[in-house]
């Protein structure tokens, strides 16, 4: 005896059609570009309320989560203090010279002065960034690439759109390693002082470029970041670098970022087809050291 094939119930068909419709609607978003960011505070005209209160973690501390791009007051759209949509990303003035705000500039040690001078004059053709190497976190704050912060009460992770990079900061105030093997991002531990996240980092590599001029950190560097999110639309990072091998005294600069909404990270894998080094006929520069 044969059995007639079972037909799906009308409700199941309806569910399937609804699911397909949803999937198709998602496809119209051109991947994730323009996909609405959740819980964005908006003004009556629909614009992002950049001065709305910052979101909070379960602990009550500010939540740094979000996608962030540099603030550049010299750029027309960025100077208007509006949220980025991912289509108007510019580097910050600190990208070229992280000491741009310091009277007299960065206090370089004598051995480093001619190296930075050469790197500045040759337009950074030896920049590790150009050779697809990772950007240290200090530099990444100012480069025109999206940073995505994923923040919980125990961990703050930065995802860098460039080269699918990452940096992790343990926010449990753990002790820093005593003899760290140098790494691109170093070793970072953080604690809260009020609503400010204080991040201490050691263990970066020698000759870690921190701006386009070729200023560097060495293995002796200790970096302290005081990070705040005063409102929804901004993150402020006060950076103090204490690196006696590279600088005659500690120095402090303030870096700023603004929120990007309705945007998402997209692959930017430099090694895929980098042509600059080949077209310029360059060879790698040896690492600088005192």
Partner 1 sequence: MKPSLFHLPALVLGLLAAAASEAHHSFPAQYDIDKPITLTVTVSKVEWTNPHIFIYGEVSEGERSGTAWAFEMGGPNTLLRKGWKRDSLKPADVVVIEGSLARDGSNLVNARSVTLQATGRKLFAGSSGGDEVPTAGQKPSTPP
Positions that interact with partner 1 (CB under 8 A): 30-31, 33, 72, 74-78, 85-91, 95-96, 122-125, 127, 129-130, 132, 143-144, 161, 212, 263, 265-270, 272-276, 279-280
Q: Which residues contact 113 (CB under 8 A, 6 or more apart)?
A: none
State the nearest-atom distance from the C-beta of 290 to partner 1, in Å.
26
In the bound state with partner 1, the residue whose beta carbon lies nearer, of 125 and 155, is 125
Beta bridge partners of 101: none
187, two tokens: 């070793």
In the bound state with partner 1, the residue whose beta carbon lies nearer, of 81 and 274, is 274
In the bound state with partner 1, the residue whose beta carbon lies nearer, of 98 and 169, is 98
57, two tokens: 């973690």
In the bound state with partner 1, the residue whose beta carbon lies nearer, of 190 and 265, is 265
State the nearest-atom distance from the C-beta of 76 to partner 1, in Å.
6
State the nearest-atom distance from the C-beta of 72 to partner 1, in Å.
8
Q: How many CB atoms lie within 10 A of CB 31?
A: 10
In the bound state with partner 1, the residue whose beta carbon lies nearer, of 58 and 281, is 281
State the nearest-atom distance from the C-beta of 240 to partner 1, in Å.
24
Question: Whose CA is closest to 257, among 153, 170, 178, 147?
Answer: 147
Asked if 145 and 174 touch (Cβ cutoff 8 Å), the reply is no
Q: How far is CA 56 from the centre of its chain?
A: 20
State the nearest-atom distance from the C-beta of 10 to partner 1, in Å.
35
State the nearest-atom distance from the C-beta of 105 to partner 1, in Å.
17
Q: To which H or E segment does residue 256 belong?
A: strand 251-260
What is the distance between the alpha carbons of residues 206 and 240, in angstroms, rounded to a whole number?
18
Q: Which residues contact 37 (CB under 8 A, 6 or more apart)?
A: 67, 261, 262, 263
Q: Which residues contact 57 (CB under 8 A, 6 or more apart)?
A: 63, 151, 152, 153
In the bound state with partner 1, the residue whose beta carbon lies nearer, of 166 and 276, is 276
DSSP 160: E
In the bound state with partner 1, the residue whose beta carbon lies nearer, of 84 and 171, is 84
In the bound state with partner 1, the residue whose beta carbon lies nearer, of 9 and 76, is 76
State the nearest-atom distance from the C-beta of 284 to partner 1, in Å.
15
Q: Which residues contact 36 (CB under 8 A, 6 or more apart)?
A: 261, 262
What is the distance between the alpha carbons of residues 79 and 64, in angstroms, rounded to a whole number?
22
Q: To which H or E segment does residue 34 belong?
A: none
Q: How far is CA 25 from the centre of its chain?
A: 31
State the nearest-atom distance from the C-beta of 113 to partner 1, in Å.
21
């Amino acid at each position: 005896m044969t059995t007639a094939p079972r037909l799906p119930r009308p409700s199941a068909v309806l569910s399937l059609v609804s699911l397909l419709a949803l999937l198709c609607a998602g496809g119209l978003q051109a991947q994730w570009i323009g996909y609405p960011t959740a819980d964005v505070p908006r003004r009556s005209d629909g614009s992002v309320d950049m001065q709305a209160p910052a979101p909070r973690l379960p602990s009550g501390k500010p939540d740094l989560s979000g996608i962030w791009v540099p603030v550049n007051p010299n750029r027309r759209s960025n100077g208007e203090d509006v949220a980025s949509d991912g289509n108007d990303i510019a580097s910050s003035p600190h990208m070229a010279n992280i000491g741009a705000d310091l009277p007299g500039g960065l206090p370089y040690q004598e051995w480093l002065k001619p190296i930075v001078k050469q790197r500045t004059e040759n337009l950074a053709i030896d920049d590790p960034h150009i050779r697809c190497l990772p950007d240290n976190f200090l530099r990444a704050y100012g480069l025109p690439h999206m940073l995505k912060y994923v923040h919980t009460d125990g961990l703050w992770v930065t995802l860098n759109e460039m080269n699918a990079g990452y940096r992790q900061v343990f926010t449990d105030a753990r002790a820093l390693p005593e003899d760290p093997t140098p790494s691109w991002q170093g070793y970072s531990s953080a604690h809260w002082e009020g609503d400010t996240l204080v991040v201490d980092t050691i263990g970066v590599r020698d000759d870690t470029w921190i701006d386009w001029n070729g200023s560097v950190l060495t293995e002796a560097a200790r970096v302290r970041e005081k990070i705040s999110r005063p409102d929804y639309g901004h993150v402020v990072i006060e950076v103090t670098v204490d690196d006696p091998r590279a600088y005659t005294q500690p120095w402090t600069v303030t870096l700023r970022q603004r929120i990007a909404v309705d945007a998402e990270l997209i692959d930017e894998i430099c090694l895929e087809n980098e042509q600059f080094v080949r077209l310029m006929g360059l060879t790698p520069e040896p690492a600088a050291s005192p």
